[in-house]
Chains A and B, each alone.
Chain A
């Protein structure tokens, strides 16, 4: 079993829809949670960074962490065609830990 599980999709939604992306994990030591966006032929780009449980909002993006369920989510409101990309969740165990463990990535397409 992988430490981090993410539905690979693909996920296709119309422009303006609310998108929900999710990851589950098995390692209870994970404390820092990230979402990265990766366009085709590019490296991942950090979107959201959260510590422990709770919500964090940044513009159209909201990240949620539920440590009790070992479940994290990313919501995208008012989705745009430019949001079409692969979204990767990532996590690490403690402040000094350098290794990130990534999910498989979800390929998202926003249709105009």
Chain B
């Protein structure tokens, strides 16, 4: 068990391009979360999966954002038509039902130029 893994660690993209991030949670964890963190701020909730079902989405998750967890294991977060305001750290976390806290990955830092 190597913890929550996120790929890539850093992504630089031009405005208007699409990007996709991957998260591999801890293997026995059935819950997976995506958060966004901008510089000098705390993480903000984006969405949450239990197994393969996406159970909650934040209003922050505009229609340019989509997240999937097709087989209840890894998850992807796609941002279409990126904007400069999308520049942030995208954090993935996982947990097991009944446990108290999440385990976060190290994040994917997105820079939109």
Q: Are A98 and B48 in contact (CB under 8 A)?
A: yes
Instruction: State in angstroms the CA–CA spacing of A60 and B92 once bound together.
Output: 28
B71 contacts partner chain A, Cβ-Cβ < 8 Å: no
Q: Do B93 and A102 have beta carbons less than 8 Å apart?
A: no
Number of interface residues of A (CB under 8 A): 22
Cβ contacts under 8 Å, A6 to chain B: 42
- Tell me, rounded to whole Å, the shortest Cβ–Cβ distance linking B35 to chain A: 8
Known contacts A34-B101, A41-B106, A44-B104, A100 near B41 by CB under 8 Å: no
Q: Is B42's CB under 8 angstroms from A43's CB?
A: no
Instruction: Tell me if A8 and B91 are in contact (CB < 8 A).
Output: no
A99 in contact with B107 (CB, 8 Å)? no
**Complexed CA–CA distance, A101 and B106 (Å):** 19
- Is the pair A98, B33 in contact by a Cβ cutoff of 8 Å? yes
Number of B positions contacting A (CB below 8 A)? 23
A41–B6 CA distance with the chains assembled, in angstroms: 13
Q: Mark A32-60, 1 if CB is under 8 A from B, else 0.
A: 10100000011111100100000000000
Q: Which of A41-88 contact B (CB under 8 A)?
A: 41-46, 49, 88
Known: A6-B42, A99-B48, A103-B42. A43 touches B4 (CB 8 A): yes
18 contacts between A and B (CB under 8 A): A4-B42, A34-B101, A41-B106, A42-B107, A43-B91, A43-B105, A44-B43, A46-B102, A98-B55, A99-B56, A99-B58, A100-B43, A100-B45, A101-B45, A103-B42, A104-B40, A104-B42, A105-B40
B contact set with A: CB distance below 8 Å: 4, 31, 33, 40-45, 48, 55-56, 58, 91, 93, 100-107
Q: Which 8 A-B pairs have the closest CB atoms?
A: A102-B42, A43-B104, A46-B101, A99-B45, A49-B100, A98-B48, A44-B104, A43-B106
Interface residues in chain A, defined as those with a beta carbon under 8 Å from any beta carbon in chain B: 4, 6, 8, 32, 34, 41-46, 49, 88, 90, 98-105
